[in-house]
Structure 1
Amino acid sequence: MSDPAPNPLRAPLEAGLAELGLAPSLADPLLAYLALLQRWNATYNLTAIRDPQQMVVLHLLDSLAMAPHVAGLTSLADLGTGPGLPGIPLAIAHPGLQVTLVESNGKKARFLREAVRQLGLGNARVAESRAETLDEPGRHAAITARALATLPDIVAVGGHLLAPGGRLLAMKGVRPDEEIAALPAGWRVEAVHPLRVPGLAAERHLVVVARGD
């Protein structure tokens, strides 16, 4: 028997991983996740992005652009994770990071549980819940949200999940100065990091929000 054809997504993914300074060995589990997402998406419509090449850039590499900023963290809650973004790619990249995938939509939560099982992600768990009703006060070193809401809304629904000294790591497109100005009392922006996503021309920023004056 001839060898199976190489996955056409491998080369662009490995090039993107190299550009982000991440190990090429991450490609196998990331491609396995993407294949599972594509299969489920055909039936359950988990993401509007259907082109596999776009999925590599807009799902995998976009999520992993923030990987350096979660290095060293013990736990992360990904609020409104949808099909597991950025939580599952981050859990793959950082095996020592405990990731809680918070998603209230039943079909997406079912997919997440299957993905965690099939990928053998012992450092990821699914919480089928809205962020504001998740009863895990002070449990997480950080929370993140990729496309959930504005910064004030994220701290309103998820701030209770943060441990003392915890941080919100919010993924945004253009620098969200109006959202930053609207943060409620008791919250402050600690840093705004421009992110470079391989294969993407659009702006990306990671906004780090902490409790404080």
Structure 2
Amino acid sequence: MPGGDTEVPDGDTLGTSDSVKAYLGDAYDGVAHYAEMLRDQGELRGLIGPREVPRIWERHILNSAAVVPFLPTSGSVADIGSGAGLPGVVLAVMRPQLEVILVEPMERRTTWLSEVVAELGLTNVQVKRGRAEEYHGAFEVDAVTSRAVAALSKLVRLSMPLVRVGGEMVILKGRSVAEEVDPARKVLRKYAAGDPDILEGSTVEGVESTTIVRVRRGK
């Protein structure tokens, strides 16, 4: 549904709108600070492309925030391939009682993530440099999330070994994700996981919803 926010080309206007402030509540100041850091340094440090700078709130911040209601309010979550910190940093700000582990293989990105964590004073975040598979057997969490990392079959192989039995993989995917389910069935069975739930994550009026995929690990 079109809204007034989407008619404004300047992404900063969306970020300061009453609807976004109301949606984020107490987390607004921290998320806005992170968005400002990403806007100021993201392109320079190779975290986002130049066309993304004016769309940080709509395409990145709110897109990431859409997954938060589907994740635990406490316990632990790992964000694999965290990159610029999406959705992991947004999640950590919005869910301060949650332990968040940001897993990222590239050194320049983990340097950035560590700077963001320090700047925002996020005491509930750990930054781990490496690929997700390097941490198989090293720790387990209540949920694993990711955004724009890989096809579903590969994500299951990367993510499920990090998820405790009974925990969930909750990821942001494109709208065509249903086409990825059949190729992923074999690896899903390996973790006693059923068919994934394909859900719609919405934030504020006028901002496109996000496709969320959620699947529980069995015994």
TM-score (norm 1): 0.85
RMSD: 2.2
CA contact (8 A) 2:199 2:211 kept: yes
Query: Who is 2:5 aligned against?
Result: none
Identity, % of aligned positions: 30
- Higher mean displacement: 142-151 or 28-37: 28-37
TM-score (norm 2): 0.83
- Higher mean displacement: 153-162 or 173-182: 173-182
**Offset at residue 43 of structure 1 (A):** 2.7
Q: 1:41 to 1:209 in 2, by over 3 A?
A: same
Aligned length: 202
Pairing 1:17-56 to 2, within 5 Å after superposition = 17-18=21-22, 21-23=23-25, 25-48=26-49, 50-56=51-57
Gaps (5+ residues) in structure 2?
Answer: 1-11
- Higher mean displacement: 58-67 or 180-189: 180-189
By relative contact order (CA 8 Å, sep 6+), the higher-ranking structure is 2
- Higher mean displacement: 36-45 or 52-61: 36-45
- Paired amino acid for 1:178: E
Cα deviation digits, residues 103-132 of structure 1 (max 9, x gap): 101111100000001100001111110111
Query: Who is 2:6 aligned against?
Result: none
Q: 1:197 to 1:53 in 2, by over 3 A?
A: farther
Question: Structure 1 segments of 4 or more deviating over 3 A?
Answer: 7-10, 49-53, 135-138, 197-201
Query: Who is 1:125 aligned against?
Result: 126
CA contact (8 A) 1:141 1:166 kept: yes
Gaps (5+ residues) in structure 1?
Answer: 1-6
Query: Is the partner of 1:182 in helix, strand or coil?
Result: helix
**How far apart, in 2, do the equivalents of 1:205 and 1:169 lie?**
10
**How far apart, in 2, do the equivalents of 1:45 and 1:102 lie?**
18
Query: Who is 1:11 aligned against?
Result: 16
**Offset at residue 196 of structure 1 (A):** 2.2
- Paired amino acid for 1:145: S
**How far apart, in 2, do the equivalents of 1:116 and 1:70 lie?**
20
The structure with the greater share of residues assigned to helix is 2
**How far apart, in 2, do the equivalents of 1:8 and 1:204 lie?**
21
